[in-house]
């Protein structure tokens, strides 16, 4: 029986072989990896154990850092994952180690599974050009494929997914590929953003907003705040010293991989191995530039 540690080692080997720098983490993701792009990877044997709360934080962190969130696993409660399909777990692309390797090598798939069915995304321009090259009207193509004219019209209006069996029928009739390779990035909608957990986080967030930063808060990462302006800052804003040393080390490792500045914000003067300011200093600042200079 394969253990999670074995799956972690296999994923690390893939990252080594594909030239990625990475660090181990813990929380809503287990590995941060970077080459040209950044991947935040959650490792699980059974992907059904991945929780919605972890997904939400992982998607927001990935959105903030322009990273790609990924769950790597081997099975669900009901089936073994296939190597040529991207699955989905709470809006996070989910896959086998083999599929991850293909993606890291820029061999993007075109099949994904969603709510029990297999789908591919039809490229509107490819479909329209191929249909016209064959001399088919939308109605004639629809009749040959066994769908409505409206269905063909909608797929020629914008890129959108279709059931895999329909895609294959269209491609058989037109004798060409009309699908897009899949993207594993996605945007987070505004109402998914997380709020501060306590008064201290809220007051720090207010000060950062005053300086021109937008802020996101987290519970399941070793940092609890990302502040964005022209520069992105990953911060640990906390009144408690519990596990702070471990948290700082995780943040240092993460900063080295992602090349993102990190900062500790404390209620009173403290000294850590990363740039640290206390709340009163933050309150006296008048611009984002002052904060960035303090970090440097």
Q: Break the chain into its structural domains and give their ranges.
A: 4-109, 119-174, 194-295
Summarised one tens digit per residue, pLDDT across range 246-282 is: 888 899 999 999 999 999 888 888 788 888 888 899 9
Summarised one tens digit per residue, pLDDT across range 158-197 is: 988 888 889 999 999 999 988 877 666 655 555 677 888 8
Among 229, 225, 203, 204, smallest CA distance to 216 is for: 225
Q: Which residues contact 46 (CB under 8 A, 6 or more apart)?
A: 73, 74, 75, 76, 77
- Per CATH, the number for 119-174 is 1.10.260.40
* CB burial of residue 24 (10 Å; 0-12, 13-18, 19+): middle
The residue written with tokens 């074995």 in the block is 6
Q: For 198-207, what is the mean pLDDT?
A: 92
Cβ–Cβ < 8 Å for 171, 131: no
CA atoms within a 13 Å half-sphere pointing along the CA-CB vector of 243: 9
Tokens of 211: 């300086």
Which stretch of 29-33, 86-90, 171-175, 212-216 has the lowest confidence by average pLDDT? 86-90
pLDDT at 2: 82
Architecture label for domain 4-109: 3-Layer(aba) Sandwich (3.40)
Cα separation, 295 vs 250, in Å, equals 18
Distances (CA, A) of 289 to 108, 185, 216, 217, 245: 40, 30, 20, 22, 28
Summarised one tens digit per residue, pLDDT across range 109-162 is: 777 777 768 788 899 999 999 999 999 999 999 999 999 999 999 999 998 888
Which stretch of 11-25, 172-186, 212-226, 245-259 has the lowest confidence by average pLDDT? 172-186
Which stretch of 25-34, 87-96, 109-118 has the lowest confidence by average pLDDT? 109-118
pLDDT at 161: 84
Q: What is the pTM of this model?
A: 0.81
pLDDT at 189: 52
pLDDT at 242: 66
Cα separation, 237 vs 205, in Å, equals 9
Cβ–Cβ < 8 Å for 279, 273: no
Higher pLDDT, 183 or 87: 87
Domain 4-109 shares a fold with domain 194-295 = yes
Confidence of residue 241 (pLDDT cuts 50, 70, 90): low
Q: Partners of 119 in the beta sheet?
A: 112, 163
Q: For 7-19, what is the mean pLDDT?
A: 96
Give the fold, CATH level 3, of 194-295: Trna Endonuclease; Chain: A, domain 1 (3.40.1350)
Distances (CA, A) of 64 to 36, 57, 94, 229, 276: 17, 11, 20, 11, 22
Q: Where is 55: in which H helix or E strand? A: helix 52-65
């Amino acid at each position: 029986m394969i253990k999670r540690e074995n799956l972690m080692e296999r994923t690390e080997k893939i990252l080594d072989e594909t030239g990625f720098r990475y660090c181990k983490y813990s929380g809503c993701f287990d590995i941060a990896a970077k080459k040209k792009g950044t991947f935040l990877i959650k490792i699980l044997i059974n992907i059904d154990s991945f929780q919605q709360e972890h997904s939400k934080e992982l998607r927001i962190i990935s959105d903030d850092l322009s990273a790609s969130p990924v769950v790597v696993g081997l099975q669900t409660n009901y089936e073994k994952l296939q190597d040529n399909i991207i699955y989905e777990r709470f809006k996070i692309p989910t896959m086998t180690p083999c599929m991850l390797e293909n993606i890291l090598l820029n061999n993007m798939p075109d099949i994904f599974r969603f709510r029990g069915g297999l789908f591919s995304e039809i490229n509107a321009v490819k479909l329209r050009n191929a249909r016209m090259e064959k001399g088919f009207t939308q109605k004639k193509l629809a009749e040959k494929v066994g769908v409505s004219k409206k269905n063909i019209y909608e797929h020629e209006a914008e890129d959108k997914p279709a059931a895999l069996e329909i895609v294959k029928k269209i491609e058989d009739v037109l004798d060409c590929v009309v699908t897009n390779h899949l993207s594993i990035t996605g945007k987070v909608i505004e109402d998914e953003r997380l709020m501060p957990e306590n008064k201290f986080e809220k007051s720090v967030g207010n000060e950062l907003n005053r300086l021109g930063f937008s802020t996101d808060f987290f519970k399941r990462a070793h940092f609890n705040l990302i502040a964005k302006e022209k520069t992105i800052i990953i911060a640990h804003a906390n009144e408690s010293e519990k596990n702070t040393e471990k948290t700082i080390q995780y943040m240092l490792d993460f900063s080295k991989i992602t090349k993102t500045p990190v900062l500790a914000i404390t209620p009173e003067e403290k000294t850590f191995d990363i740039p640290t300011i206390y709340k009163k200093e933050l309150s006296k600042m008048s611009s984002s530039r002052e904060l960035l200079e303090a970090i440097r």
